[in-house]
Each structure stands twice: as C-alpha cells, then as structure tokens.
Chain A
C-alpha cells in the first residue's frame, strides 16, 4: 500500500514537472525575440551612432561579433530611427559584382531587400518611412508626375540597413569594402 502511494506521488510529480517544462519552454521561445538583448541590432548598436555607416570586419576566426558571415562578402550597415524623419538611403552598386541592400526591423525581420539589378544609373536609392510619413509624402506628390523613387514602409521606427558586396577574388575584397563603405543614410526633414 505504502509502495503504491509513493509510486503515485512520483508519477504526479513527473506529470506536473512535464507540464511545467512544456509551459516554460513555450513561453521562453516566444519571449526571447521580444527580449532581444543579443540580436544583430543590439550587437550593431555597440559599434556606432544612428545614421552612421559602419564597415563590418571581414568574417574570420577573429571577428566574432556576428556569426554566419561570408568571408567573400563585405558588409556595412547603418542603424536608423524614423522618429526624426524619413531616411534617405543611397548606395553605389558596383556593376561588376553582386551587391544588395536589406532593410531590417528592430526585431530582426527583413521588410525589404534589393540587389544591384534594381540600380538606376549605378545607384541604389530608397526612402524608408513610416506609414504616417508615407501618407504625408504622398499627399504632396504631383499627380501628373509619376513617382520615381522607391519608398519603403518600415513596420518599426528603429531598424538597420545592411549592404553586402561580393568579391569575386580574395584580392578584390578591398574593392567590395569600398563599395559598401559608400552606403549613405541620412534623415530627411519630416513631411508636414
């Protein structure tokens, strides 16, 4: 009888523990992205101020800030905050190789990306704005003139733009670096 009671006790504890474990696991997985203390944005924030273009070190055994970087690809980024106004992004696309711009929210999801194939006259250009800013800008558009610029709505005020440039040979890596270093991010006056 005593043995049977102990077995039931252990079974109940095990069942309870399993249920709590499942709950803890699900909550942890859902909370981690919101906590965001170690994500790419948090790591990039250590490197410099908003709007500044910052070149990332070539991925290698010593560059341990961001994992899964490609040693053949040079990258630079700028963080943005649309609270002060829309962001004008300009970057030269080296016609000889692959280059791309990707737009990331504070929470790490990508809301837009373009490659060098979208470049006009060798330049990739975009205006990043909030929903409200887009409405204000669109209200000022001349109805007879088609809009030429690429306007990208960001779901969050804060985020970052990453530029990548592929080097076809190891000796061409410095050129890829100078391509991404030319990324330019500037806050424009808020539309009234």
Chain B
C-alpha cells in the first residue's frame, strides 16, 4: 500500500512539474487573445493578470508594456496555423492596427533577437519601405530579399513580435479585426 502511494506521489510530482514547465513555455495565460496568427496578453503586467500570465512573466523576466504605452503581439505560426519554420520564406504585411509607431521584429524561442550577418533584427514603421498605397510587405527569409528583408538568421523555431506604441487599440485588443493585423503567408520552403 505504502509503495503504491509512493509511486503515485513521485509520478504525480513529476507530471505536475512537467505540466507547469510546459504551460509556462507556451507563454499564454487565460487572458491571452488570439487574432489570426497573433497572440496578445492585454493584461500582461496588470495587477489583475491571471496566475499563468504572472508566473510566465516571473520566469521570462521581461518588462511588459503597460496598457497606456502599447501592446505586444507574438506570432509563432503562419496564417494557416503551421509553426514558423526557418527553412521557409514568409511575406508579412500590408497593414497594422493604428498606432503612433510600430515595430516588427524576429525573436528566438526565449524572446531574443537572432544573430544574422545583416544585423537586422526588426523594422520600424518610420523606416520601412512602403508601396504607393501606404501598405508594406516584409520578407522574412534566410536568404537576402529586395525591399524589406527580415533575416531569419539561424535554424530552429522563431517567432515574430509586433509592437504598437501609443495605440488607441491598447484597451480593446480583443476587438481588433483579423484583417487589421499583418498577414503571415508562407511562400516557399527549402
């Protein structure tokens, strides 16, 4: 009987810790809102954030943006739901929700920029090359592209981070239409 209880305890402990690590790595709490390929946690850093969001922030150590400062959206997959793959080329763009400034950058699984020969880690709304109609396209690819090229840098999983600064949508991220977010379409893969 004791042996059985012990086995249950050990297995339970291991399972519980594993589930905890897994849920923190996924980086999304109950507060998270998904809009197309993008996920945003409006409550990151808010005093009433859910326990998963708070535990995730404690582990990652990031300094979240306050609702009054802006919003950070993360995409780990393309529009079809397939995980972003360093062997593929993606076209990201045309529009973003309204904001005084925005940036779109590439990060690794831990949230850090990825080394690349061009030393290009992201684009600002104020420096990007736009089409005649004001839209933009960013090519996310391992090899050089004309126009706005965001290099993938290395093998492995990566994510895209879209940050809106001083945006009127800060308080109502859940109400953003899918069409207002940049699309992430996979073009070709090696």
Q: Which residues of A approach B to under 8 Å, CB–CB? A: 9, 12-14, 16-25, 28-30, 32-33, 35-36, 38-40, 42-43, 59-61, 63-73, 75, 77, 97-98, 100, 102, 104-105, 108-115, 117, 155, 162, 164, 166-170
Contacts and interface: CB of A to CB of B under 8 A. Distances in A.
B7 interface: yes
B16 to A, nearest CB: 3
B52 A29 contact: yes
B85 to A, nearest CB: 20
B169 interface: no
Interface stretch (B62-70, B76-84, B172-180): B62-70
Given A18-B12, A110-B45, A115-B69, A60 B166 contact: no
Given A29-B55, A72-B122, A108-B54, A20 B9 contact: yes
B55 to A, nearest CB: 4
B60 A67 contact: yes
Contact of B20 (A20, A25, A111): A25
Interface of B: 4-5, 7-9, 11-17, 19-20, 23-24, 45-47, 49, 51-52, 54-55, 57-69, 72, 100-101, 103, 105, 107, 110-115, 121-122, 124, 126-127, 161, 163, 165-166
Contacts of B107: 67-68
Nearest to B126: A168
A165 to B, nearest CB: 10
A162 B68 CA distance: 13
16 contacts: A17-B11, A17-B15, A21-B15, A28-B17, A33-B51, A40-B57, A42-B61, A43-B61, A60-B121, A61-B115, A61-B121, A67-B110, A70-B163, A71-B103, A98-B100, A104-B63
Given A29-B52, A68-B107, A115-B166, A40 B61 contact: yes
Q: Residue among B16, B19, B115 with the most chain A CB within 10 A?
A: B16
A166 B102 CA distance: 10
Secondary structure dominating the interface of A: mixed
A53 B107 CA distance: 27
B103 A70 contact: yes
A112 B45 CA distance: 10
Contacts of B5: 16
A72 B8 contact: no
Contacts of A20: 8-9, 11-13, 15-16
Contact of B114 (A25, A61, A72, A73): A61
A166 B11 CA distance: 49
B111 A67 contact: yes
B68 A33 contact: no
Contacts of A38: 58-59, 61
B19 A25 contact: yes
